[in-house]
């Protein structure tokens, strides 16, 4: 229990920002300490329990499967994927989790060939739990490069540590290496696919006790670029899943890719599971009590003594509403309030100031076309835009400035609550 206000603030701040500073927690540690089972309510404000459905789809599928998990950044996809790893039957499955941001700059367009090389390296770098000797993994990667005629000498120096370390560096910094990979894919796509699948087929053979890998490829949803490059980045991600869907279905294993909420790959035949924001308001603007109460539990789990009211007093619901139901934005608002130096609970004036700062931050740089789209969303509760402005609409959704709310059988769209007052003024 934190005795002084300052100790309380500091402990609460650490619990909301566990990936910063010297006391960083891993995603697994964060899950074990702070997870709130938000999907326990049947047909609740976050929708059905997608993790249970994904696990069932894996269990029901003979051979391998491929699924997409789509949603806003900050909506809790990674947390739910970690829960998936926990609910899988470990006597049957081996979860392998790879965060692609360890390998790629998600503000640049995605290169398909480099992605597949990263896929192989990321699997190798994260399957320690399978008990496969490192030397065996290195040898398999070397043989794969030789078969697609890519020079591996610069990236597979076993004296430098893990094989994937040098591959990671090459994918980030070595233009010559990436060009070799691009040429290998474009000159003979069929052979490239056969070899990448042969590599993963061999990895399945190496699994202990005949277990099946469940390969989770996270953070593809972070691909969105900046304002000037958003469309190019979006098209590169959609192209990967539209053009190379057969390559992405890896043999004899189950694969889950997280993708941006805006991605609509042409001809995609597999499951696409949506992880959206917690529903905190109804279409008529009234509170969704169930959603607000869930996020109260989330704050209580991280607040010292389970007491967010010590910081927020009777304004807890207000701060939750202002977040739009996104964990990222809720934690950002509460963190900013924890840095205030006045008496607790914080004042309404301090909350107004933090909301104003956050509102100014997210409003900066929005184009006139985007303000018009926001006004349309506010009036119609639909996300629609002329063909020439679709990139602006998708960017608003990717940034979480337009949110999707569940309303029985029909979903509806709304403007992020922090932006809503500005849109009202522009009507």
Domains along the chain with CATH numbers: 5-23+279-363 (no CATH), 47-275 (3.40.50), 368-426 (no CATH)
Say what the pTM is.
Answer: 0.85
The rounded distance, in Å, linking the Cα atoms of 251 and 65 is 8
Tens-digit pLDDT profile for residues 208-227: 888 999 999 998 888 875 65
Mean pLDDT, range 90-106, rounded to an integer: 90
Q: How confident is the model over 264-317, as pLDDT tens digits?
A: 777 777 788 888 889 999 988 899 999 999 999 999 999 999 999 999 999 999
Cα separation of 19 and 100, whole Å? 17
Enter the tokens of residue 373. 């789209």
CA distance 132 to 163: 14
Percent of the chain surpassing pLDDT 90: 48
Given pLDDT bands bounded at 50, 70 and 90, which one contains residue 424?
low
H and E: helices and strands count for the chain? 19, 7
Can the peptide bond before residue 44 be classed as cis, meaning omega within 30 degrees of 0? no
């Amino acid at each position: 229990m934190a005795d002084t206000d300052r100790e309380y603030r500091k402990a609460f701040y650490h619990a909301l920002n566990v990936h910063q500073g010297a006391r960083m927690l891993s995603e697994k540690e964060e899950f074990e300490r702070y997870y709130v089972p938000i999907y326990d309510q049947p047909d609740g404000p976050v929708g059905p329990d997608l993790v249970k459905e994904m696990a069932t789809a894996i269990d029901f599928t003979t051979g391998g499967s491929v699924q997409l998990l789509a949603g806003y950044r900050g909506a809790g996809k990674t947390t739910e994927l970690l829960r998936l790893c926990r609910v899988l039957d470990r006597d049957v499955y081996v979860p392998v989790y790879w965060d692609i941001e360890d390998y790629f700059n998600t503000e640049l367009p995605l290169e398909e060939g480099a992605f597949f090389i990263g896929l192989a390296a990321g699997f190798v770098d994260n399957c320690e739990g399978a008990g496969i000797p490192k030397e065996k993994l290195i040898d398999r990667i070397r043989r794969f490069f030789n078969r697609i005629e890519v020079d591996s000498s610069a990236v597979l120096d076993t004296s430098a540590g893990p094989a994937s370390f040098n591959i990671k560096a090459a994918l980030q910094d070595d233009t010559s290496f990436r060009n070799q990979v691009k040429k290998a894919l474009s000159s003979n796509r069929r052979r490239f696919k056969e070899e990448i699948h042969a590599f993963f087929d061999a990895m399945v053979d190496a699994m202990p006790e005949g277990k099946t890998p469940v390969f989770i490829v996270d953070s593809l949803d972070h691909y969105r670029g900046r304002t000037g490059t958003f469309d190019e980045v979006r098209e590169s991600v959609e192209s990967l899943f539209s053009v190379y869907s057969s390559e992405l279905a890896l043999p004899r294993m189950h694969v889950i890719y997280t993708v941006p909420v805006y991605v609509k790959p042409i001809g995609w035949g597999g499951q696409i599971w949506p992880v959206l924001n917690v529903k905190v308001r109804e279409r008529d603007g009234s509170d969704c009590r169930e959603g607000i109460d869930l996020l109260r539990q989330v704050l209580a789990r991280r607040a010292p003594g389970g007491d967010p009211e010590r910081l927020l007093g009777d304004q807890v619901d207000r701060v939750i509403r202002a977040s739009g139901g996104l964990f990222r934005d809720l934690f950002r608002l509460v963190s900013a309030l924890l840095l205030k130096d006045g008496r607790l609970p914080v004042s309404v004036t301090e909350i107004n100031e933090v909301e104003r700062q956050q509102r100014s931050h997210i409003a900066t740089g929005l184009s006139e076309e985007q303000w018009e789209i926001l006004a349309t969303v506010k009036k119609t509760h639909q996300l629609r835009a002329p063909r020439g402005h679709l990139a602006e609409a998708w960017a608003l959704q990717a940034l979480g400035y337009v949110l999707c709310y569940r309303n029985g059988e029909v979903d509806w769209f709304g403007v992020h609550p922090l932006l809503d007052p500005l849109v009202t003024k522009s009507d």
